[in-house]
Chain A
Amino acid sequence: MSRWGTGALGRVVRSGVGRRRVQLVVIVVSTMMAVASAVVAGSLMVAVNAPFDRAFAQQNGAHLTAQFDPRKTSAAQLAATEQLDEVTASAGPYPTTTVEPIGEGGGHLPSLTVVGRAEPGGTVDKLELKSGRWAQKPGEIVLSSSFKGPMLTLGSTLKSSDAKDAVTLTVVGFALSASETADAWVTPAQAGTLAPKGQPATQQMLYRFEQADTSGQITAARKQIAAAVPSGALLGSQSYLDTKQAAEQGAAATVPFLMAFGVLGIVMSVIIVGSVVSGAVGTGLRRIGILKAIGFTPREVVRAYVAQALIPAGAGIALGVVLGNVLAVPLLANTEQAYGTVSLTVAWWVNLVVPAAALLVVGVAALVPALRAGRLRTVEAIAVGRAPRTGRGQWAHRAAGRLPLPRAVTYGLASPFAHPVRTFALLLAVVFGTVTATFAVGLTQSLNAVGSAADPEERAAVTAIAGGGRGGGPAGPGREPGTVGREQKPAGREQPAGREQQPAGQAPAPASADPAKVAAAIEAQSGTASYYGLYEEEVRVTGASGAVRATFYQGDTGSGSYEMISGRWFEGPGEAVVPTRFFERTGTSIGDTVRVTLGKDTQTLRIVGEVFDTSDDGMHLRADMATFAAAKPQMFQIDVESGVDAVEYAEQLAAKIAPLGGHAVAQEPAEAEAMIILLDAMAVLLTLMLVSVASLGVLNSVVLDTRERVHDLGVCKALGMSPRQTVSLVLASVAGIGVIGGLVGVPAGFALHGYVLPVMGDSAGTNLPPSVLEVYDAVQLSLLGLAGIAIAMLGAMLPAGWAARTRTATALRTE
């Protein structure tokens, strides 16, 4: 049998484990919470660490997605490209086309790159079917899982275009392609029928290369492919590196946050588990003396005491792993949704490493005092009856005794100095608990500030659409009425390769109303508080490669202004504001001028401010509409007067401008971004867990202290100390630690917030505005300062009550 499972030693261990139930519960619960926190934090850190790479590897993603002209190359020629030196695997050719679908409500959906694939698997780009099934016959379509939402569910239908003979497609599944090779998939035969008349579907080939770490390697391989097919056959391609960059931009932002929580959780777990276990062993000295007196060897004593710590800690660790997995699953599901990666589970090695590390910590924490116990002289242990008094802290009692406070309080205030190591561990627990609370409060406020700062157009109550856009802007085909201003796809995702064949702006523009007449209707409508017009289009900016998205404003932008990071909002024609990344990409700064070309009109604009805007990969210029004569409002954002019902207002306005060709809708209340909800949830969960662990650490320390001092407390009670004074003594013994914990923890949490937030912003490619960074106020910081005391008091309340209730005669008999 085991070394301590049977016989005298086994009985000693079992009775030792069961004897002190409070301590048993504290060890089990604190190790459970600590391990659960570590599992949650660790698994999330793993999940967000290169999620694209993991998904890409799991799916054997395509390094290059290439589109070929079927009129210039044959399927055999395309298949032969697999034999090229650089190519290690390929899939295709798949017929590909682009559709401009119409939703069930009749609104335009974002254009879709549709690929005909008979099955989701294959050697390259093995798609993960997230829900439903694969398309098996004409009339069925599988959408990218990024489209899944209230408007598009399994069974939803959409038309391939607004033409009379458009094909009706039923959504039968949602799938994920890490390489983003398409927005939707149908049967190969169906893909051919979706292609515009007279234009055969292009052919998509998916490639994996021997060397694909750099864009140079991808470009070289692409050249090899282009050379292997007839000239002009290769219409376009998309490198996975571009997709990766876009995909990781969002994920990277959360890494510093999770790192901060992960480190806090792990450090606190080590402190608490270590102090709980060493304290448990340290207070059993009398029993150790008795064991040795009846013949236990020092080695057996060590083994018994290590086992007594390991048994409850082992149970706590096992429960912690289970709890951590249970808690991590919904968070990982949110992470998966936010990142659009393949199914995430707690990494197997997290479930091994965390408990192994916890066992190691517990083992070491138990071994040190157990070795001390083993070396302890029998007579000394029995005579002392409890941890020997070291004489430490007497100076503190002298000093505290001079304070103008009740004696019970001053006696309690000096108590922690008798056990400096335990007090330090307790202080660390309170400090880390306070840091966590401070950081989490600031982080949550910052995230909410980010949510409020994003998409200021959504703050308007009503949107009136005049139409006339060309570039899929706010009024373009990419939007559905009722969802104006809201992205249909996760931020940062690039257009699939197939979209390259259909440059933005080529979609047929809907009928447009005269903006001036729409503006007049808005002006005339009762209940209008203010409004401004928007025109969104792609422009060329000297110094920036490719097109840059630009929005031009007319009128009182008011609530539509973006948060300023620095500088100011534009005040008239010739001025512009841009996001952080614009400065980085163009090498400009506030005060510089840039030449901006809209159509054939080129103007020089002075950059007057840096705005907090992460849309369009941070390359979005905003300026006064009067800068360009050709710019006319496509839509108007309207604020209604207080008390005016936005829906009624929108209906009345819509009735007036519909004959003009316009439309008006009330804005739906903005929903928080999935990422913000995820981070909020994680912050709350991890904070609660870590604060609980901190309180348990305090509880354990105070239980140990109270046990050690129960005889002294009995003496004090015999001398006339009332139960209330006893409670105040015990609470005072942690009050000082709470105060110091708060004084240290709040600035540390404040500093951590100040460090992590800019790093998060940097990862997302933007500086952050003061509204996001400066979220604490003096009152809040003062209240957070009380968190240290609250944590300490919370942990001490139970043993304080126990000390007060203990019968004096019993306490006096206790040794």
Chain B
Amino acid sequence: MTHVAETTPMTPVIQLSGVAKRYDSAGAPALGPIDLGVAKGEALAVTGPSGSGKSTLLNLVAGLDKPTEGAVTVAGERIDRQSEHALARFRRAHIGMVFQFFNLLDDLTVADNIQLPAQLTGTARRTAADRAGELMELLGIARHARAYPGRLSGGERQRVAVARALVNRPALLLADEPTGALDTASGQDVRELLVDLHRGGQTIVLVTHDLALAEACASRTIHLVDGHVALDSAAQAVR
């Protein structure tokens, strides 16, 4: 496994304590209970088979779902007890999300898609546009600024999605199978992008089936099986 970041960050950006999630009160939990900490600047890859709880874990960290038990603290905020409104504000401020199927809004241009999270926070139009322009330049999609997502390739769309995720300079970038819907070349493209971001100090949680991606991008990998951490590369390293 290649660790991109050599230093061991000290400040935990994510702290999960005894977190479990049940969708069926009578059934087994889809996740946990687990304890997990992710430090600032760390790139965590979450791997595991389908139904192992990867997406559930990501949703809990993003504040898209609430745990049945346990505490979820992200960027210093306990988010498992917050209202929907507070969670929305939390996501705006601290979370950037990249999805497998991009989840770009088809009726907005590339530039508008990227600016959207900034505009939701009330950022001035010019400031948001400048930041979007900066990211488009950085990610090599500036020429598509006025295009609609439907006209872009998969790799380009995912770059737009990454730019959108970064527009508010989030403490945490969450990526759910970011190469899952891409061809090999585009997948490689996105992989390099994530590596670059991590090198730049961005904290990343990456959910993927793709072990090669995890190896290339992540400083730490956990492997989930039936909702529990079956393997944690950090613990292995300690041993």
CA distance A722 to B85 in the complex (A): 5
Asked if B88 and A722 sit within 8 Å, CB to CB, the answer is yes
Within 8 A of A (CB), among B86-123: 88-89, 91-93, 95, 97, 99, 103-109, 112, 116-117, 119-122
Give per-residue flags for B68-97: 1 if the beta carbon is below 8 A from chain A beta carbons, else 0: 000000000000000011001101110101
CB distance from A22 to the nearest CB of B (A): 21
Q: Is the CB of B116 within 8 A of A716?
A: yes
Chain A hits for B108, CB < 8 A: 394, 397, 401, 411
Contact B106 A812 (CB under 8 A): no
CB pair A394 B148 closer than 8 Å: yes
Given the known inter-chain contacts A391-B150, A397-B108, A401-B112, please indicate yes or no for A720 contacting B103, CB distance below 8 A.
no
A725 to B59, CA, bound (A): 21
* Closest Cβ–Cβ distance, residue B59 to chain A (whole Å): 5
Chain A residues near B148 (CB, 8 Å)? 391, 394
Contact with B along A711-746 (1 / 0, CB 8 A): 110011111111111000000000000000000000
| Residue A414 at the chain B interface, CB threshold 8 Å | yes
- Hey, what's the 0/1 contact readout for A379-406 against B, CB within 8 Å counting as 1? 0000000000101011001100100001
Q: Is the CB of A418 within 8 A of B107?
A: yes
- CB pair B116 A397 closer than 8 Å: no
Q: Is the CB of B150 within 8 A of A720?
A: no
- List residues of chain B with CB within 8 A of the CB of A227: none
Quick check: is A540 within 8 A (CB to CB) of the other chain? no
The CA-CA distance from A722 to B103 in the complex, in Å, is: 18
CA distance A714 to B89 in the complex (A): 15
Residue of B nearest to A722 (CB): B88
Bin chain B's interface residue count: 20 to 34
Q: Is A14 interfacial (CB 8 A cutoff)?
A: no
**Contact A719 to B97, CB < 8 A, known contacts A398-B109, A407-B119, A812-B64:** yes
Give residues 770-815 of A contacting B (CB, 8 Å).
Answer: 804, 807-809, 812
Q: CA of A411 to CA of B109 in the docked complex: distance in angstroms?
A: 12
Our count of residue pairs bridging A and B at CB distance below 8 angstroms stands at 85
Contact of B116 among A407, A807, A812 (CB under 8 A): A407
A725 with B88, Cβ < 8 A, contacts A394-B148, A719-B117 known: yes
Cβ–Cβ contact A715 & B64, under 8 A? no
The answer to whether the Cβ of A408 comes within 8 Å of any Cβ in the partner chain is: yes
Is B222's beta carbon under 8 Å from chain A?
A: no
**Inter-chain contact B85/A723, CB cutoff 8 Å:** yes
Question: Is A720's CB under 8 angstroms from B121's CB?
Answer: yes
- B103 touches which of A401, A804, A812 (Cβ 8 Å): A812
Measured between beta carbons, the chain A residues less than 8 angstroms from B107 are 389, 391, 393-394, 397, 414, 418
**Distance to closest chain A CB from B81 (angstroms):** 16
Contacts of A712 in B (CB 8 A): 105
The size bracket of the interface on A is: 20 to 34
On whether the beta carbons of A720 and B88 are closer than 8 Å, the reply is yes
Q: Tell me whether B62 is interfacial, beta carbon within 8 Å.
A: yes
Q: Are A721 and B88 in contact (CB under 8 A)?
A: yes
Which B-chain residue is minimally distant from A712 (CB atoms)?
Answer: B105
Residues of B within 8 A of A418 (CB): 107
Answer yes or no: B164 CB below 8 A from chain A CBs.
Answer: yes
Give Cα distance in the complex from A721 to B117, angstroms. Answer: 8
- A808 CB contact (under 8 Å) in B64, B85, B119: B64
**Minimum C-beta distance from B143 to chain A (A):** 18
Once A394-B148, A808-B64 are accepted as A-B contacts, the answer to whether A718 and B109 lie under 8 Å apart by CB is no
A715 to B98 alpha-carbon distance, docked (Å): 10
**Is B65 close to A, CB under 8 A?**
yes
Residues on A with beta carbons closer than 8 Å to the beta carbon of B109 = 394, 397-398
Which residues of the other chain, B, contact A398 by a CB distance below 8 angstroms?
A: 109, 112
Q: A391-B148, A414-B107, A715-B105 known; A723 and B64 CB under 8 Å?
A: no
Which residues of B have CB within 8 Å of A407? 116, 119-120
The residues of B that contact A411 with a CB separation of less than 8 Å are: 108
Nearest CB of chain B from residue A417's CB, rounded to whole Å: 9
CA distance A694 to B179 in the complex (A): 47
Q: Is the CB of B62 within 8 A of A720?
A: no
What's the nearest-Cβ distance from chain B to residue A282, in Å?
Answer: 17
Contact in complex: B59, A809 (CB < 8 Å): yes
- Contact between chains at A720 and B85 (CB < 8 Å): no
Best-buried of B85, B116, B168 by chain A (most CB within 10 Å):
B116
A and B contact pairs by CB, cutoff 8 A, 18 listed: A391-B107, A394-B107, A397-B107, A398-B112, A407-B116, A711-B103, A716-B120, A718-B62, A719-B91, A719-B117, A720-B88, A720-B91, A722-B89, A723-B85, A804-B84, A808-B65, A809-B65, A812-B64
Q: Which 5 interchain pairs have the tightest Cβ spacing?
A: A720-B92, A407-B119, A722-B88, A809-B64, A720-B91
The chain B residues found within 8 Å of chain A, CB to CB, are: 59, 62, 64-65, 84-85, 88-89, 91-93, 95, 97, 99, 103-109, 112, 116-117, 119-122, 148, 150, 164, 168
List 5 additional contacts besides A407-B116, A718-B64, A722-B84; criterion CB under 8 Å. Answer: A394-B148, A398-B109, A715-B104, A716-B120, A812-B64
